Amino acid sequence: MANKYVTNTMEKLVNILLVEDDEVDVMNVKRAFKKNHITNPLFVAGNGIEALELLRSDKMGRPCIILLDLNMPKMGGIEFLKVVRADDSLHNLTVFVMTTSNQENDKVEAYNLNIAGYILKPLSMDSFISAVATLKNYWQLCEFPE
């Protein structure tokens, strides 16, 4: 069956930066990417400090979407977001929070820092795979500046 829409194979894939300290969660994201046939370059940082180093290096191109855990050692997600939003070259990055924290104050703080969405880490792998499918639809639909 021919695809109704022509896919531009030269289309640049959005870089994904996963900021997550839990190795099991990193594995779950990688698994969910595989299940959803996501081929975007995936970068992983273990905390906010590592993520800033990566973003400020020339290793990660733009555009870039960040999937951000909140509770991490050294620099957590909220602190990381504050630095990103105050940084002239990083301030407009698209950030999704992915966390187990269902606390209202975390949601309020994160949205005050202009996140694109606050996602609770689902309990089952199946719902995680479908959550990642939704994210894939989002970044394939949107145009981002270089």
Residues binding Mg ion (CB under 5 A): 21-22, 69, 71-72
Smaller CB separation from Mg ion, 69 or 106: 69
Segment holding 120, helix H or strand E: strand 117-120
User: Closest approach of Cβ 20 to Mg ion, in Å?
Assistant: 6
Question: Could you give the count of Cα atoms lying within 13 Å of 81 in the half-sphere of its Cβ?
Answer: 27
User: Closest approach of Cβ 1 to Mg ion, in Å?
Assistant: 42
Smaller CB separation from Mg ion, 23 or 137: 23
Smaller CB separation from Mg ion, 72 or 90: 72
Q: Which residues contact 106 (CB under 8 A, 6 or more apart)?
A: 70, 78, 97, 99, 118
